[in-house]
Structures are given as C-alpha cells and as structure tokens.
Structure 1
C-alpha cells in the first residue's frame, strides 16, 4: 500500500533524499526507441534545464542527478533555513515563477486590502507558499508535470507519462549520502551508455568534471541567481552552513576508479591509497563497489545505521524501517 509522504520524509533526521521517477510502460523520457528509431535525446536537456530552474526557485539544492532513458535520479538537500530567511516579498516572487498570484496577496502587496481579515488570510497564504517552496512533493510535482505535458504534446498524445508517485529514500548519514551520489553518478556506466565518467553527459559528475552547467529556461526573467550543484566543502564543513563534507577531488578520483571497474565487467579492487575517501568513510573496497552497483536495489525507504533507522522510524510514525540486516555491516 502507498505510504503517506510524511512517513518517508523527516527533516529532523536528515535533509538529504534520493528521489526517483520512472516513465510508465514503454514511454521514453530520453534515448532512442529501437522499434520506431525515434530519438528522444533532446529531452535530456529539458530535464537538466527544468531541474536547474526549479532548484533555483525552491529552497532545495541538488547534490547529484542522472537522466536516463526511462527514469531519472536526484539526490537533494532540503534547506528549510533558506526558505525561512526569505522576505514575504521574495516568497511571492518565487511562487509566481510557477503559479499565478492570489488576489488577496496581490491586494496586500498593493496596500489595498479592505480589512484585517483579508491581511491575515493573505499572510497565511504566503506562509503556505513558503512551506511548499521547501517541500519535496511540490518540487517533484512541478518537475514531472512540466515534463509530462511537454512530452505528451510532442508525442501528440494524452494520459499518464510517469509511473504513479515518485520514490524517495532518506539518506541518514554521510556514508549513505556519498554512496547514493556515487550510485547516481555511475548510472550511465552501469547501463553501458558511457565508457567513462568524463563522457557520461547529463549527470552531475559530468557537470562537476567539466564545470559546465546547462542553461536555464527563462534565465533572463529570474529575479534571483540560478543555483549551482551543492558544493563539496572539504575541511571547511565545520564553519560552513551547508555542503558535502568531503573534498571534491577525492570524490572525483573515487568515482573515476569505481567507474573503471564497473565498466570492465570484472572483479576488481580499488587501491585505497589513491582513494583516501574510502578510509575517511570507513568502507572497504568490496563494500563500496557493492554500494555503487546496487544501492538503489538493495536499500529502500531510508539508509543509515541501526540507531539512525530506529530514530527515523520513530519520527515518521513507523515501528521499524526495512533493510536492517543488509545495512548493519556497512552503515554502523
């Protein structure tokens, strides 16, 4: 049975989440249909542009992404503090990039509200908008609906484009975040869509390596700066408000070495001397390779140590979170 989103998200435990949406039946998000020889490759840019636009509007940062032929992955960081720091006027500006203004809010902005009740109602509406602009469901709604309409219009058809609701996976500690990012960044390598991470386009690892962000739709009209990917802050993390608490160079080296082993389809071992990030994470080479290849299949709902899983379960109104046995040896 489908679970309420409140049982899948607990910002009290983590701000990092792995999100996945998959196309229904044989619908193509991207790639080439071997039956009709029709190419949908141009839709990858639609996805990257829309992700960049929405995360610039929302108080949500992207740590990793991969756009595949019939699904996509996002690893995101929900920044409620950013949303709380916005003025009411900025909240309205951001919301109106997505939806029409509300008449009561418009009157409040113009100073023409007729009574205190109207003012109070308008302020409640703005408060609701502020909450929605740091909400995963509203982010994914604006991403999936936009792409579905655009794809259906191009295909000259109607109906469902995505399979039900998006899936979310809570990443409860740094190990889980890095392992999930690696799993996402290496998707094109596992799928034989790219030989190396340097050529794996439409992924965050490609963007980080080449320092090349995609252009954002309607970039000229945005009243605020487009966001880059969530940064690696290395040893500065103790004094930084947010960011991935490791070195970008160490991460790139680890992903490149992992990609070589996965691509060659043979058992291998990562030299931990050249990949100090493994030592910092406390994960051995075999466990890391297993995570990089099977993270999305082996773990569901939430990933972390037993203590973290139990706390997450308590905060989301569950008795437990599945997957204790598989996670116990690695996430401890």
Structure 2
C-alpha cells in the first residue's frame, strides 16, 4: 500500500522532488489521437502556462519540466523559508488567488473588524493556508484540477482526467537532482519527438537555452529564466539559493548525455563534463543508467546511501526503501 505523502516528504532531507502525473483516459493530454484524428497539442500550452504561473502564488519553484503526450514531469523546489516570511495578509491574498477563502478572510481583506474569537479562528486558517502554499500535494492538486476542468469541458464529459495519485520521488543529493533534471529534460529526445534538447517544445531546457542565447552572461542568476529555479554556480561560501552548478555546465552535460542516449555510443567527453561527474561522485556508466531510466532506478527516494539513510531516519522509516538501488546507482 502506498505511504501517505507526508511520510514521503521531509524538508530536513531535501527540498527537491520529482513529480509525474499521467492521464487515465485514452483521450490525450496533448498530441494527436491517431484513431479519431483529433489534435490536442494546444493543451500543452494550457499546462505550461498554469505550471509556470503557480510559483507566483506558492512557495515552490520549478527546476525542470517536460510535457509529454499523456503525462508530464516536473522537478519542484520547496522554499519553506519564503513561506515563513509572508505576512498574514499576504498569505490570505495568495490563497484568494486560488480559492474564495471564507467569511473571516473576506472580511479581513475588506478591512472589516473581527472580534477576538473570529481573529483567533482566522489565524488558524492562515497557518493552514501557509502550510498548503508550500505543499507539493496542494501544488499538484491545483495544477491538475485546472487542466482537468478545461479538458473535460473541451471533451464534453466528466470524471477523472488524471490518475488519482501522482508519483513523487525525493531527490536527496546533488547527483540525484542533476540526474533527474537531465532525465526530465531529455524526455522528448528519447521519445523521438525532438532531435535536440533546445528544440524540445514545452520543456524547461528549451526555455533555458532560449534565454542563454540572448544573454551576455548565461551563468548570471539575473539573466536566467525568471520563472525557473536558477543555477547559482559551483558550491562556495555565501552561495545564493539555487541549483549548485553553472548553467553552461548543465547544458553541456545534458547535450553530452543526449548524444550518448541517441547514438548508443560514448563519444567525446569534454573536460567540464568530467569535472561535473567527478564532483557529483558518480561515474559515467552510472550516470547514463540514471538519466535513461530514472523512474526505474529509484522509487520514493533518489540519492546516495548516506542521504537515503538520513532521510529515512528523519521520517521514522524502520528500513530504508530501495537501498540496493541507491547503492548501485549512486555509491
């Protein structure tokens, strides 16, 4: 039986999570239904627009995403510290962008007075909403419900559009994060939808490549895509919040990995790519296995043995799940 989501998420272990949601009906999320000839390609735009707009409301950033024909992948970064800095009125305003709230919150926003009991009750709601605005479960719920409603109206039907439970994997260390992001960004290439990562529509890698082409310094945080979690360079003192790798190194890494996966041969590995793999503590054969079959390599948790044991201790697991996979994939 699947474990409750709260037993799979620990911000003490990692703020990064890989989520996958799949359709349940034969009707496509996107692409063309070859039986009916109906094209659903425009739904990719629905999903991408909604996905990239939610970080303006939630304390959650998008590190990577890829929208496929009947499912999508997204790597999320939970910024719990940001949620704690919000004032009460900011939490209410953010929540009201998603839902109506309640009588107390509506009165509070309008500047109407609340008695002591009403204010105390509203405070309970505010803290609950603050928690939900940094929850991947609520993020995925809002995203999926919005797309399901639009798709059901277009299809002229009702009922489930998505599988009842989205899949999530905790990315416990830098190696797991980099491998998972490359796995997500290379999805269209592996599916023969696109020839190169920078030509892959509705993916984070294309947006990052487009911004890098126009930038004088693509590694500078201020010149990267505003709607995506930034790359902040190699680990150092007082490093800002973000992915601890240079964007240009990551793009080289994805390109090198993509070439090997497409042509089934190693090719030449640049010095910068070798340095990345050395820093992450994995060899190239392990890297290729992870980036080709990330979902099969790991289950609920993805990372090295020490990271897995630490996370499971925090979540009070009796035995670390998938320990042998983590040992074989990341030493």
Same fold (TM over 0.5): yes
Q: 1: CA distance between counterparts of 2:110 and 2:276?
A: 54
Classify 1:279/1:306 alpha carbon distance in 2 versus 1 (closer, same or farther; 3 Å): closer
Shift of 1:281: 1.6
* Cα drift, residue 330 of structure 1: 4.0
Q: Is the 8 A contact 1:15 1:78 kept in 2?
A: yes
Once residues 247 and 30 of structure 1 are traced to their aligned partners in structure 2, the CA distance between those partners, rounded to angstroms, is 32
Instruction: Provide the C-alpha distance between the structure 2 equivalents of 1:151 and 1:108, rounded to a whole number of angstroms.
Output: 35
Residues 5-56 of structure 1, C-alpha deviations (whole Å, 9 max, x = no match) = 1111111111000001011042311111111111111111111100111121
Q: Quick check: 1:146 aligned with 2:142?
A: no
Q: Aligned pair in 2 of structure 1 residues 114, 303: CA closer, same or farther (>3 Å)? A: closer
8-17 or 237-246, which deviates more:
237-246
Match status 1:268 vs 2:266: yes
**Equivalents in 2 of 1:228, 1:307: separation in Å?**
32
* Runs of 5+ unmatched residues, structure 2: 213-224
* Aligned residue number for residue 88 of structure 2: 88
Change (3 A) 1:25 1:238: farther
| Contact 2:286–2:330, Cα closer than 8 Å, also in 1 | no
1:268 to partner: Cα distance: 2.1
Please give the alpha-carbon distance, in whole angstroms, between the structure 2 residues aligned to 1:116 and 1:86: 22
**How far, CA to CA, are the matches of 2:94 and 2:75 in structure 1?**
22
Corresponding residue for 1:254? Answer: 253
1:284 aligns with 2:290: no
**What is the aligned residue count?**
318
- The answer to whether the Cα contact below 8 Å between 1:83 and 1:134 also exists between their aligned partners in 2 is yes
> Who is 2:215 aligned against?
none
**1:221-278 Cα deviation digits (max 9, x unpaired):** xxxxx952000000365323410001000000110111122122x2325515251322
CA contact (8 A) 1:67 1:202 kept: yes
Hey, what's the Cα distance between the residues in 2 that align with 1:238 and 1:45?
A: 39
Query: In the TM superposition, what is the alpha-carbon distance from 1:284 to its structure 2 partner?
Result: 1.9
Query: Which residue of the partner structure matches residue 68 of structure 1?
Result: 68
**Segment of structure 1 superposing worse, 54-63 or 280-289:** 280-289
C-alpha contact (below 8 Å) 2:303/2:326 kept by paired residues? yes
8 A contact 1:65–1:204 mirrored in 2: yes
Counterpart of 1:56? 56
Alignment check: 8 A CA contact 1:18 1:180 kept: yes
RMSD: 1.7
TM-score by length of 2: 0.91
Partner Cα separation in structure 1 for residue 135 and residue 236 of structure 2: 25
Residue 63 of structure 2 aligns to a residue whose secondary structure is strand
Partner of 1:309: 308
Structure 1 residue ranges without an equivalent (≥5): 213-225
Secondary structure of 1:202's match? coil
- Return the alpha-carbon distance in structure 2 between the equivalents of residues 196 and 241 of structure 1: 31
- 1:110 to 1:156, Cα distance in 2 relative to 1, 3 A: closer
What residue number does 2:222 align with? none
Secondary structure in 2 matching 1:62: strand
1:47–1:116 Cα change, 3 Å = same
Are residue 160 (structure 1) and residue 160 (structure 2) matched?
yes
